[in-house]
Amino acid sequence: MRNIALIDVNNFYVSCERVFNPKLLNKPIVVLSNNDGCAVARSDEVKALGVAMGAPWFKLKDLAKQHNILAYSSNYALYADMSNRVMSILKHYSPDQEVYSIDESFLDLTAFKSKDLVAYGQQMRQRINQWTGLPVCVGIGSTKTLSKLANHCAKKRPDFNGVCNLNSMAPETINQMFTEIDVGEVWGVGRKLVLKLNALGINTVLDLKRANPERLRQQFSVVMEKTIRELNGIVCIELEEITPPKQQIMSSRSFGYSVTDYNSLAQSITLYMSRAAEKLRRQQSYAGSVYIFIRTSPFKENERFYSNGRTISMPSPTDDTRKLVNVALWGLKQIYVPNLGYAKAGVMLGELVAAQGIQTDLFSTQKNTPKSDRLMAMLDSINKKMGKESIKLASEGFSRPWKMKQGNKSPCYTTNWDDNIQALDLEQ
């Protein structure tokens, strides 16, 4: 049997804020998404008040006043550094690691058969907590899907003390536990699937575990079949130790206020495309298609909601910021409707191919010339040396009044010399 562990930081963004601001301990706090839109992380105190994940902040303001909920803008520089520390510590607990997200990592512990894995998990918890100040939970199961569920149990049931190893538990005990967990907690089962499964009488994790995988494959997809088999301990999803290069690159933001004029939209699209193209070159890929979208706010009740996008195929794949921006702006002209208040815009690069061995179009004049390659390489290296946006396209704009709000961002304690923790004299 495989021993696969999932280690997950509890309320990651909130916990990061608390490490550097101990006054926030035991206080209700939320961390808001880009542009201070929605609650993307909640402390236990806020969860207890019934605030849902992704709840829009403007709807929470009354509740926040009533319970003194503190809201922080997301500080991704801080979270990324703390995440790197956690992942780097975990690396020493197994040679097989998959960093699954900013706050989750799988470890293959199959080779550690003779070890008491619960004790091993407690060692990880203790070390991560001491070294970084972050609380984590550990779930162990024979498949990735089961380890995710084990992690859920470790979080929700205090008697596990943060480490749940399904592989050391009796099947009856596990099944009993699975009758008490909603099917929506299963990895890969989203809100829409839950409704469809409920209609078939599948409500709990145990219901899904006992479902017929072939029949559900026909009704859903092969992914559903894999999920059911994984719930029954058959490995269908392997650890991905090397992350494959991204197949899509996305760059989008909400605006600080609603934007009506075409020029501001064009500036923002140019800026997002420049960011995306930079990422594209960093992973040494070319993009074959460009997707651009704009939308108004879905929350404004007395205004018309408008959302539109365009996918444009490139004549031949490229990584040249100037060509990608041209195409995106052409797309923007197609979908721009005047006199609307836009809340968000973004671009996505698709059909990515490796820069080496690229197929060039025999008749195209659009292919990357050595000159363009050199220009882009120079652009990237200057921006790396002299700081972000030292050189940019003029159409990215300079004043950017539409830039996103980050009203209450904490200092970048670990990535900026001027933002370190300040140690005071302190007198009694």
Partner 1 sequence: MNNDIKTQSSRGGKRLNAGRKTGTGKFGEPTEVVRVPTSQKPIIVDFLAAYQHKQQLEEAIDISSLMLPALNHKTLNIPLFASKVPAGFPSPADDHVEKRLDPNEFLIDQADATFFVTIQGESMIDVGLMPGDKAVVDRSKMPSIGDIVLAVVDGDFTIKVLNRGKDGSPRLLPANASGKYQPIEIKENMTFEVWGVVTGSFRRFK
Asked if 425 interacts with partner 1 (CB under 8 A), we say: yes
Tell me the CB-side half-sphere exposure of residue 136, using CA atoms within 13 A: 33
Q: How many residues bind partner 1 (CB under 8 A)?
A: 35
Q: What mask, x for binding partner 1 by CB under 8 A, covers residues 190 to 219?
A: ------------------------------
- Looking at residue 415, the DSSP 8-state letter turns out to be T
By beta-carbon proximity to partner 1, the closer residue of 26 and 248 is 26
Q: Interface with partner 1 includes 338 (CB under 8 A)?
A: no
101 belongs to the binding site for partner 1 (CB under 8 A): no
Residue 365 vs 428, nearer CB to partner 1: 428
Q: Which of 235, 239, 355, 375 binds partner 1 (CB under 8 A)?
A: 235
The nearest distance, CB 411 to partner 1, in angstroms, is 11
What are the start-end ranges of the E strands in 196-321?
249-259, 285-296, 307-318
Stretch touching partner 1 by CB under 8 A, among 263-271, 292-300, 334-342, 409-417: 409-417
Q: By CB under 8 A, is residue 143 in contact with partner 1?
A: no
Amino acid of residue 252: S
Give the Cα separation of 377 and 282 in Å (integer).
10
Regarding 226 and contact with partner 1 (CB under 8 A), the answer is no
- In this structure, the strands spanning 307-318 and 285-296 are antiparallel
* Cβ atoms within 10 Å of 175's Cβ, excluding its own: 15
Q: Are 209 and 228 in contact (CB under 8 A)?
A: yes
Q: Where are the alpha helices (DSSP H) in 41-190?
A: 44-48, 57-67, 76-90, 117-132, 144-156, 171-179
* Helix H or strand E segment including 330: helix 321-335
How near is the Cβ of 51 to partner 1 at its closest, in Å? 24
Report the residue from 54, 95, 245, 401 that binds partner 1 according to the rule CB under 8 A.
Answer: 95
* Rounded CA separation 18/24 (Å): 6
Residue 115 binds partner 1, judged by CB under 8 A: yes
Question: Which residue number, 95 or 407, has a Cβ lying nearer to partner 1?
Answer: 95
Nearest to 408 by CA among 32, 25, 64: 32
Q: How far is the CB of 229 from partner 1 (least distance, A)?
A: 10
Q: In angstroms, what is the minimal distance from the CB of 130 to partner 1?
A: 6
68 near partner 1, rule: CB under 8 A: no
Q: Does 77 bind partner 1 (CB under 8 A)?
A: no
Min dist. Cβ of residue 416 to partner 1 (A): 10
Measuring CA to CA, which residue among 385, 354, 371, 359 is closest to residue 286?
354
- Find the shortest distance in angstroms from Cβ 11 to partner 1: 19
Nearest CA-CA partner of 341 in 309, 310, 302, 311: 302
| By CB under 8 A, residue 415 contacts partner 1 | no
Burial classification of residue 410, based on how many CB atoms lie within 10 Å of its CB (0-12 exposed, 13-18 middle, 19 or more buried): middle
Q: Is 410 helix (H, G, I), strand (E, B) or coil?
A: coil
The contacts of residue 318 (CB under 8 Å, 6+ apart) are 286, 287, 324, 366, 367, 368
Residue from 71, 89, 193, 327 that binds partner 1 (CB under 8 A)? Answer: 89
**Which residue among 110, 198, 232, 372 contacts partner 1 (CB under 8 A)?**
110
Phi, psi of 375 (to 5 degrees): -65, -45
Q: Which of 11, 74, 132, 297 binds partner 1 (CB under 8 A)?
A: 132
Rounded to 10 deg, the angle between the 370-386 and 262-282 helix axes is: 100
Is there binding between residue 133 and partner 1 (CB under 8 A)? yes
- Residue 133 or 256: the one with the smaller Cβ distance to partner 1 is 133
When asked if residue 410 is in the footprint of partner 1 (CB under 8 A), the reply is no
Cβ at position 422, least distance to partner 1 in Å: 5
Q: Give yes or no for residue 254 binding partner 1 (CB under 8 A).
A: no
Structural contact between residues 337 and 237, judged by C-beta atoms closer than 8 angstroms: no
Is position 85 an interface residue for partner 1 (rule: CB under 8 A)? yes
Q: Give residue 289's region: left, alpha or beta (phi > 0; psi -120 to 50).
A: beta
Is residue 170 classed as helix, strand or coil in its secondary structure? coil
Closest distance of CB 424 from partner 1, Å: 5
Interface with partner 1 (CB under 8 A): 2, 21-23, 25, 85, 88-89, 92-95, 110-112, 115, 120, 130-133, 234-235, 413-414, 417, 420-428
